[in-house]
Structure 1
């Protein structure tokens, strides 16, 4: 079943806030889909949140990682709640390849967006967010895109290290969900050279029809959409954060020509690579 949720982005490339209370959280009492990326730490209190249609309890020193595309709804609370957070707009996120930046942790974050931090790690993150709050809320300072990108990469590096060290047991998943997770992992390894659905079916040891049906049932997308998602994420990051020509980007992504790359990009983004770069 497909759900249409309001799309929510940040009004600026980067925004940090060290004291997010109920007044702000109440704005998200209705479900919405994030275009931005949000990284938050609970400072005090407990509350329930629905993330990607699954209920979670948030408590002090929990790290909440909301990747773009996440569906969120903050619900009931039992006491005063306060979070600190740093967020990056869709435009900022498009400058990097999130899947590559998060290495092997991307699927873990999607599966478990909330993890409990030890007190020292939580304090380090709170201090860093406090610093960025002072910077982003100072009207006399203007962060360049390069500075915003550096801040984002530092946060992603920290989150990656947290997830790598976090005792990971995972939750019970179905075989269909496991196939989709393995597919994403394979695509991130082979997308530069292999964009055929049959290749991934062979790697998984299942028929193409079984793979196609499973992916459609679990994600609502087809296999080529999953492959394209990773390819386009890489293309967007190169268009926004490098001086590579369109042709150089096309070749780096193993397209036979800039023209072929342009048609592929426009099919999924609804604008040409140059239009996207200039947007």
Structure 2
């Protein structure tokens, strides 16, 4: 049977079964990152404005504070769910460049087909939950943080594998699909439309036309959107200072980076970090 979550408990990590017409409390979905492996049945939902379905043998990941709605489960639905409090997860992200790509990829593609990795995923869930409950450990805090980082590296490995597979399949896709893939891969360093036009062997004007026809959004706007998402994730990383972030994004100076952030976020990098506390 499913575990009834009491919102006033505010546990850092929760592991439980979801069966049938379970209802996730809204504050749980806002405060926790949700990882769920579907054993049978299906779950349908709207995620950031797109419709998705997760079926038996698939894995779904929802960020805390995501635009998640219309969540419904089939009568025979059964899943194992692992919920991690958002601040605890964010505070223990390994300092790896791939974390940004993994996070952004999972926002676009929250449902993954696991194939032969089912047992590994469930084992990873159990290891993290066990370490959370092992409060008698002499080095409990340090051990739990390390286990949290190991969990994230395992999740990123899974997303990286799926990302590379999708990347190979899109290489023969439309110009628009190839452009978006290139932006995801290179916008940390390349923020000019001409760079992507050169990669696709077309003119910048034609690339803008292709983007407008497919999405109503210009190529430069797409580049800015993806860059903005990466900047936000980097600013949320407490292990990085502003100079280090500017260097990662290869801005020529900290002042240029500050102006760019003010343009896309409406506030300076320092003001954004101060809001986070």
Please give the TM-score of this superposition, normalised by the length of structure 1. Answer: 0.66
Equivalent residue, structure 1, for 2:41: 46
Alpha-carbon separation, structure 2, partners of 1:224 and 1:93: 30
Of 81, 94, 99, the match for 1:84: 81
Deviation at 1:148, TM superposition (A): 4.2
Equivalent residue, structure 2, for 1:186: 182
C-alpha contact 1:263 1:272 (8 A) present in aligned 2: yes
Note the residue ranges of structure 2 that are not aligned, 5 or more in a row.
1-8
Deviation at 1:224, TM superposition (A): 2.7
SS of 1:255's equivalent? coil
Please give the TM-score of this superposition, normalised by the length of structure 2. Answer: 0.66
Deviation at 1:117, TM superposition (A): 2.6
C-alpha contact 1:102 1:156 (8 A) present in aligned 2: no
SS of 1:205's equivalent? coil
Deviation at 1:46, TM superposition (A): 0.4
Deviation at 1:62, TM superposition (A): 2.0
SS of 2:16's equivalent? strand
Equivalent residue, structure 2, for 1:20: 18
1:212 aligns with 2:208: yes
Note the residue ranges of structure 1 that are not aligned, 5 or more in a row.
1-10
Higher relative contact order (CA 8 A, sep 6+): 1
Deviations 1:200-222 (A, max 9, x none): 12322334344334434545543
Equivalent residue, structure 2, for 1:5: none
State the number of aligned residues.
256
Alpha-carbon separation, structure 2, partners of 1:216 and 1:37: 34
- RMSD (Å), alpha carbons: 4.6
Mapping of residues 118-267 of structure 1, within 5 Å:
118=116, 121-136=117-132, 148-161=148-161, 163=162, 178-216=174-212, 218-219=214-215, 221-241=217-237, 243-267=239-263
Alpha-carbon separation, structure 2, partners of 1:165 and 1:252: 22
